[in-house]
Amino acid sequence: MSADTLVQLLYLVATGLFIMSLRWMSDPESARKGVFSGVAAMTLAVAGTLVGVLSTGGTHYLWILGAFVAGAAVGYPLAQVPLTAVPQRTALSHAFGGLAAGLVGTAKFLLYYGQGHPEALAAPIVVALVLEVLLGFLTFTGSLLAAGKLQEIAWVPQRPVTYPLQNVINLGLFALALALGVALVLNPLAGWAPAAFLLVVVLSLAFGVLLILPIGGADMPTVISILNAYAGLSAVAMGFVLNNKLLITAGALDGSSGLILSIIMCKAMNRSFSNVLFGAFGQAPAAGTVQAASAYKADTPESAAQLMAQAGLVVIVPGYGMAVAQAQHRVRELYDQLKKRGVTVKFAIHPVAGRMPGHMNVLLAEAEIPYDDLVEMDEINGDMAQADVALVIGANDVVNPAARSDKSSPIYGMPIIDADKARTVYAIKRSKNPGFAGIENGLYYLDKTFMLFGDAKAVVGDLARQLAG
Amino acid sequence: MRANHGMDGTPGPALALLLGGPDDPGRSQGRGAGGHGTLDLMGALFVFMLATFIGLMAIQRVSRLLHTPLMSLTNAISAIAVVGALIVAAGPDAPVYVTALGLVAIFCSTTNIVSGFLITDRMLKMFKKRPGAVK
């Protein structure tokens, strides 16, 4: 068997294992098998590539080993971050993925150009190279900025940044990058080609920043998913450049995952892709905030605990505020206390609650709350009328009834968790300010709603103590 | 001479490539180590389309509970870019800067492989059923 056949066979098995890996993710019971299958696939992929490299006289093995070791040394601590930091870790790894693809594309172009063979820079390959660096570097800076926003690094603007002609400037730069790409496809060996290529790189880097600047926290789940898809597609483009079917398959799996998650996120916010990317959120005027704030009815954890102890069904609606306050373990204590008193407790999970898809589920799983009690929005809404208490912990827009009724609201049409249909609503809120998107929430002014102001962790801990004592 | 390539509109090289024309020794060298041959564009497009459909169908079945681990898993999978990075970094007769770019790309991908798989497994371990719950 020739070395090349062996390489292709290893790649073939790796491809199958990658597909099985995603297949096993369909159920929490089998999901860990998916990880092992993914690791096996990646090992075979690297082994296969090494076989190919060895058989064609590769070099720099010590350096390569060093790069592997350094990558593992950085990767290991990145896997140990607290789960509340998972969104920024994910964004950071999208950045690494994009950078890797962009660098490989740049290296390949310079290599082919240096060798001066027109066949090596045939039109389809140059198209793939341009797409690879465009998507790769755009994902790199965009994800870095997203990670900075999520980590709330001081000099990174948290609120959406908007300026006049924003979309015109962004699209103009994008068009310029595309035009350069077309010129490169037509004249890949021209004297100006490396300069043009590097300009595409610079434009892509700039475009990534400009694309993410106007995006606010509430849109992060969608944006992270889109960046996920881009990282995958840049790997696909690399596969076309290298004529490597494994790269194409694995990249396509990643790309389709990002695509599906983005669609789910967009649907959950009743918005389109273009609206997320080009229509900066959070510009809604927070009119009447001061006046309305007086209508809040505050209550004490004591009476809230009393009411919950007598309830039959308590539905807890967690949001980003729970993650920020790291309140998930206190929530678990509250869950235990209520269960002990025979109260049924369910968690209502909105698809865009938190800062990335599935964020709430992971935090609650970390607190060892059984996943059977984590209920999706569509399933729980039918039961909300039977709920004696809805306890909203740091969620805001996802329970805002204006989404159902107020046509002038920026979130009108977004599917929400019908917390307002429960008999009594308790909402834990850090302050009297409106939520991240700056939209006033009518839920807080209902007759049946009582506010528990304070840090989510402290308030939930207090509730649990009241129930225990 | 070089600068004029392609201006005359001859599809020569591209067509030869699509039709799987004879391999030019300089060109296979250009592919670098790894010996992946010339681009079979149509074959590659077929693979891309089929893989996308398989991906879409597999991902649609993933429980919403697991969307965060799914994303970190696909993160690790997209670090398959390590394959390209290896081919670039190990290529003989490449200028130093090309090798350097390849090495940095290996570093980035390895970071994703290690952290992606580890954190996915760490998260998945936490998902537990209610004790005694029947499926």
B71 and B121, same domain (yes or no) = yes
Q: Are residues A225 and A294 in the same domain?
A: no
Instruction: Judge whether A305 lies within some domain.
Output: yes
- Which residue of A lies nearest to B64 if distances are taken between CA atoms? A358
- Is B20 at the interface with chain A, CB within 8 A? no
How many domains does chain A fold into?
3
Full DSSP string of A374-400 = EEEHHHHHTTGGG-SEEEEES--GGG-
For residue A260, list chain B residues with Cβ-Cβ distance below 8 A.
56, 59-60
Question: Does residue B4 carry a pLDDT above 50?
Answer: no
Residue B37 lies in a domain: yes
Which residues on A lie below 8 Å from B69 (Cβ)? 25, 31, 358, 362
Residues B45 and B87 in one domain: no
Q: Is the pLDDT of residue B55 over 90?
A: yes
Q: Is B8 on the interface with A (CB under 8 A)?
A: no
Whether residue A283 lies inside any domain: the answer is: no
- Predicted confidence at residue A282, as pLDDT, reads 41
pLDDT value of position B1: 37
Asked if residue A256 and residue A153 are part of one domain, the reply reads yes
**Which residues on chain A are in Cβ contact (under 8 Å) with B128?**
365, 368, 370-371
B73 and B57 belong to one structural domain: no
Contact A71/B113, CB-based, under 8 Å? yes
Domain finish residue from A226, A256, A278: A278
Percentage of chain A with pLDDT > 70? Answer: 95
Asked whether the beta carbons of A273 and A211 are under 8 A apart, the reply is: no
Whether the CB-CB separation of A255 and B52 falls below 8 Å is answered with yes
- Give the C-alpha distances (Å, rounded to integers) separating A212 from A43, A99, A257, A371: 34, 17, 20, 33
Q: Is there a contact between B86 and A50 if contact means CB atoms under 8 Å apart?
A: yes
Which residue of B24, B44, B111 is in closest CB contact with A117? B24
A391 domain residue, yes or no: yes
Q: Catalytic: A397? A: yes
Residue B50 located in a structural domain: yes
Q: Around Cβ A12, how many Cβ atoms within 10 Å?
A: 15
The verdict on residue B5 lying in a domain is no
Whether B72 and B50 share a structural domain: no
Of the candidates A62, A68, A66, A31, which has an alpha carbon nearest to the alpha carbon of residue A46? A68
Nearest to A374 among B2, B65, B125 (CB): B65
Q: Which of A35, A89, A257 sits opposite B59 (nearest CB)?
A: A257
Q: pLDDT tens digits for A208-245?
A: 999 888 887 778 888 999 999 999 999 999 999 999 99
Q: How many CB atoms lie within 10 A of CB A285?
A: 10
Residue labelled with tokens 């009743």:
A270
Whether residue A37 sits in one domain with residue A105: no
CATH of the domain at A345: 3.40.50.1220
In a domain, A284, yes or no: no
Residue B67 shares a structural domain with residue B114: yes
Looking at the structure, do residues B80 and B56 belong to the same domain, yes or no? no
| Residue B102 DSSP one-character state | H
Cβ contact A180:A199 at 8 Å = yes
Query: Over the stretch A311-347, which tens digit does the pLDDT of each residue have?
Result: 999 999 999 889 989 999 999 999 999 999 999 999 9
| B96 domain-assigned | yes
Q: How far is B6 from chain A (nearest CA, A)?
A: 6
In a domain, residue B132? The reply is no
Contact A79 B118 (CB under 8 A): yes
3-state secondary structure labels for all residues of A245-313: HHHHHHHHHHHHHHHHHHHHHHHHCCCCHHHHHHCCCCCCCCCCHHHHHCCCCECCHHHHHHHHHCCCE
| B121 within domain boundaries | yes
Give the model's confidence band at A417: pLDDT under 50 very low, under 70 low, under 90 confident, else very high.
very high
Q: Residue B62 above 60 pLDDT?
A: yes
Per-residue pLDDT reduced to its tens digit, B70-99: 999 999 999 999 999 999 999 888 899 999
Contact between chains at B32 and A351 (C-beta distance less than 8 A):
no
Within a domain: residue A154?
yes
Out of A118-122, A183-187, A447-451, pick the least confident. A118-122
CA distance A102 to chain B (A): 8
* Region of poorest pLDDT, from A35-39, A143-147, A257-261, A442-446: A442-446
Q: Is A290 exposed, middle or buried (0-12, 13-18, 19+ CB in 10 A)?
A: exposed
> pTM above 0.80?
yes
Of residues A34 and A118, more confidently modeled:
A34
| Nearest CA distance, A63 vs chain B (angstrom) | 7
Task: Determine the pLDDT at residue A287.
Answer: 40
**3-class secondary-structure state, position A228:** helix
> How big is the A-B interface in CB pairs under 8 Å?
451
- Residue ending a domain, choose from A247, A278, A309: A278
Question: Do A43 and A138 sit in the same domain of this protein?
Answer: no
Report residue B20's pLDDT band, with 50, 70 and 90 as the boundaries: very low
Q: Does B122 touch chain A (CB under 8 A)?
A: yes
d(C-alpha A467, C-alpha A306), whole Å: 7
Mean of the pLDDT values across residues A195-216? 92
Judge: B131–A189 Cβ closer than 8 Å, yes or no: no
Q: In this structure, is residue A326 part of a structural domain?
A: yes
Assess whether A204 and A293 both reside in one domain: no
Chain B residues near residue A236 by CB distance under 8 angstroms:
48
Using a CB-CB cut-off of 8 Å, the residues of chain A touching B124 are 28, 31-32, 35
Q: Which of residues 22-41 of B touch A (CB under 8 A)?
A: 24, 26-27, 29-41
Domain ranges, residue A5: 1-80
Which residue of A lies nearest to B53 if distances are taken between CA atoms? A256
Instruction: Give contacts of B120 with chain A, Cβ < 8 Å.
Output: 35, 38
CA A382 – CA A380 distance, rounded (Å)? 5
Give me the mean pLDDT over the A84-91 stretch. Answer: 93
Q: For residue A135, tell me if it sits in a domain.
A: yes
Q: Are residues B19 and B48 in the same domain?
A: yes
A427 lies in the same domain as A394 = yes
- What number is the average pLDDT over the span B57-69? 93
Same domain, A89 and A76: no
Is the pLDDT at A276 greater than 80? The verdict is no
* Same structural domain, A205 and A345: no
B134, part of any domain: no
Supply the DSSP symbol for A218: G
Does residue A461 share a domain with residue A323? yes
Structural domain of B37: 13-61
Of A74, A79, A124, the CB nearest to B122: A79
User: If you write DSSP's letter for every residue of A164-208 in order, what string do you get?
Assistant: TTHHHHHHHHHHHHHHHHHHHHH-TTSTTHHHHHHHHHHHHHHHH
Q: Indicate the burial class of A207 (C-beta count within 10 angstroms; 0-12, 13-18, 19 or more).
A: buried
**In a shared domain, residues B67 and B123:** yes
Residues A171 and A258 in one domain: yes
Question: Residue A363 pLDDT > 60, yes or no?
Answer: yes
Chain B closest CA to A335's CA: distance in Å?
13
| Residues A263 and A335 occupy one common structural domain | no
Q: Are strands A449-453 and A374-376 parallel, antiparallel or unpaired?
A: unpaired
**With bands split at pLDDT 50, 70 and 90, how would you rate the model's confidence at B130?**
confident
pLDDT in tens, A22-33: 999 999 999 999
Contact B64 A78 (CB under 8 A): no
* Active-site entry in A219, A254, A397, A418: A397
Average pLDDT along chain A = 89
Other CB atoms within 10 A of residue A388 CB: 17
Span A392-418, average pLDDT = 88
The domain boundary, picked from A234, A249, A278, lies at: A278
Asked if residue B78 and residue B30 are part of one domain, the reply reads no
Whether B99 and B81 map to the same domain: the answer is: yes
- Counting the structural domains of chain B, the total is 2
CA distance A220 to A356: 6
Within this chain, do residues A242 and A375 fall inside the same structural domain, yes or no? no
Q: Residue A285 above 60 pLDDT?
A: no
Q: Is residue B106 part of a domain?
A: yes
Instruction: Give the mean pLDDT of A65-88.
Output: 94
Instruction: Please check the confidence at residue A290 and state whether its pLDDT lies above 90.
Output: no
Residue A245 lies in a domain: yes
